[in-house]
Amino acid sequence: MARTFAAVVATTIAVILAAAGCGGGDEAEQICIPQEKECDGSDVVKCNADGSDWSFYKACPDGCKDGQCKSNGTCAPACGGKECGDDGCGGTCGLCGAGTTCQAGTCKAGACTPNCAGKTCGSDGCSGTCGTCYSSGGAADPSLCQANGTCCVQSCAGKQCGPDGCGGVCGTCPAKSTCTAQGQCQQSCVPSCSGKQCGSDGCGGDCGVCSDGICLNGKCGCEDSTDCSDESICYGSPGKCTMAFGRSYSFTLADATILEGDPNDGFSAWDVGGGMPDVFVECTAEGTLVFSSTVKNDTLSPMWWESFNMVVAKGQYFECTAYDNDVSDADWIGAFEFKQGIPASLLKDGYYGFDAGDPSYGFQTASFVITPN
């Protein structure tokens, strides 16, 4: 049984006085402070009027602490200034001794007449109750007892949310929804995914997730290669990002421009008699011939629109050379090369425009269209 410091002091003084021959003869030994309350296990005990002993005061269903019953977390007992009677949570604030009755929270001599006229719950004025209130679920719920001594009837039939009419609620609505006046949960935002494969539904959710992580205007896939990562291209319909290297491409040689004079022969005419060159182009990959165009005769602005297929590997050496097709042999006009391989940016752009940038170079310009197969 727990004891306060004051009780220990009182007990010590009583022992000292008794040892000194004091104490008034047959008077009972004082071991506690009158009316003091302490815990004895889960019960509250109270020091009697002369401080000579402790007596049972009340039981605590949820345990005792510091001379008071613990709250179960749903109802806080109200016993301030009361030594008996209803605690408002289905328990009592204490029991009165023999010959006394609880009247308005105080133990008084004489009989007490219970008064439950017009009441179905709450205190009867004599440490008893006029009845118990029950929730709509059938559980005893003292909090439903109103000040007028009647039980509040919860009204949640057909309702998902909103007030139950007794200070509680019939339920709560999920996120992004509100409770209507009729007690129904209603979405405050209506998702819109009509005709969409991905992207926002307009309410914080999404209409789907694309496997390649690219969603454009509600559709999975890419519109062009600029939508893809550095070494990926947009391919197919609907477009899908795929690795740029290790796949076949169609290269179309569109056109070229050739310097008017042969820089290898003092800028003299390309052909005997002042004729213009007969131009053809050859392309190699890692030294292997992959393309040889037809010959375009007597022109400084040849046009071909001829194609070849080639699998492009990362870092693969690639070179294209222009020649003047003479009767005896082919004279070198000029060339361009990719020593470190064709960059992914050209494969993504789908076009390559060669420009020598040197007015004295024989092979001035050339253009290719690049398309994935």
Hey, CA dihedral for 88, 91, 94, 100, is it positive or negative?
Answer: positive
Interval 88-123: pLDDT, tens: 776 778 887 777 777 778 888 777 788 898 888 988
Residues 6+ apart with CB under 8 A from 303: 254, 255, 296
Mean pLDDT, rounded, of the chain? 83
Bridge partners (DSSP) listed for residue 239: 222
* Domains of the chain: residue spans and CATH: 5-96 (no CATH), 207-243 (no CATH), 247-372 (2.60.40.150)
Residues 6+ apart with CB under 8 A from 81: 105
Residue 226 has pLDDT above 80, yes or no: yes
Q: In the predicted model, what is the mean pLDDT of residues 10-27?
A: 46
According to the model, what pLDDT value does residue 43 have? Answer: 82
Tokens read off for 192: 């819109």
Query: How far does Cα 8 stand from its chain's mean position?
Result: 58
Query: DSSP letter string over 164-177?
Result: -SSSSBS--PPTTE
Interval 186-212: pLDDT, tens: 887 888 899 888 888 888 888 988 877
